[in-house]
Amino acid sequence: MRIDIVTLFPEFFDTLKTHSIVGRALANKKIELVTHNMRDWSHDAYKTVDDHPYGGGVGMVLKVDVVAPAIADVRKENPEAPVLLTTPQGVPYSQHVARTLSSKSGLIIVCGHYEGYDERIRDYVDLEISVGDFVLTGGEIPAMAIVDSVARLLPGVLGHDESSQDESFSEGLLEYPQYTRPPEYDNKKVPEILLGGNHKEIQQWRTQESKLRTKSRRPDL
């Protein structure tokens, strides 16, 4: 999978490219991550990408005559990829959306900044995504979250592919409690059922615990 990111700050993604699951996926050629500096599509010597909003108001707005050509040019390199716009107004990001995106041959992610986008930019994208009901300075952090969550779902990226299928939200439930050694610490013991080796009973326990935890912590699910 090729993932293109259009951003004002390509350097934000340097650490992502070299560490953790994404770094390993890149090293194993499971994904290709290409960053593009939005300023390369500006029209003046100052590399201007934003301007004051019509009608007045605070902040600056990203220009459609910069972002739209950037999308068009990147699409030539990644023609089958849907274009994603990171914005608080987008659809809520979820594991279901991540799985849908992981089935694509590529992705193009446009990172917003400043006060927002010229409304006409929305006509050039396929999906607007929000990572939560809060406002960030820019779209780079949401883009990193999307890259990480999608990459780990690709075959061969995790050490065990079943790991990505057995996590919180994968089946609409929060993940069951996990334990490791020692079996007892500060008078807190690992549940006996996990020590007995009966895999059927363990699976039943995990399913029940997932349901109880979801009902308690995320009843909206």
pLDDT single digits (tens) 185-221: 999 999 999 999 999 999 999 999 999 999 999 999 8
Q: 170 falls in which pLDDT band (50, 70, 90)?
A: low
Report pLDDT for 19: 87
DSSP state letter for 182: -
Q: 1 falls in which pLDDT band (50, 70, 90)?
A: very high
Whether pLDDT at 78 is above 60: yes
Q: 114 falls in which pLDDT band (50, 70, 90)?
A: confident
SS3 101: helix
Is residue 194 a contact partner of residue 202, using CB atoms and an 8 Å limit? Answer: yes
More confident residue, 58 or 169: 58
Distance CA 180, CA 177 (A): 11
More confident residue, 114 or 155: 155
Domains and CATH numbers, the chain: 2-151 (3.40.1280.10), 168-217 (1.10.1270.20)
Report pLDDT for 113: 85
Report pLDDT for 25: 95
Q: 58 falls in which pLDDT band (50, 70, 90)?
A: confident
Whether pLDDT at 29 is above 90: yes
Whether pLDDT at 169 is above 90: no
- Quote the percentage of the chain above a pLDDT of 70: 95
What are the helix (H) ranges across the chain? Answer: 14-18, 20-27, 64-77, 95-102, 140-151, 199-217
Q: 53 falls in which pLDDT band (50, 70, 90)?
A: very high
Q: Mean pLDDT across the stretch 141-166?
A: 84
Distance CA 187, CA 190 (A): 10
Distance CA 133, CA 103 (A): 26
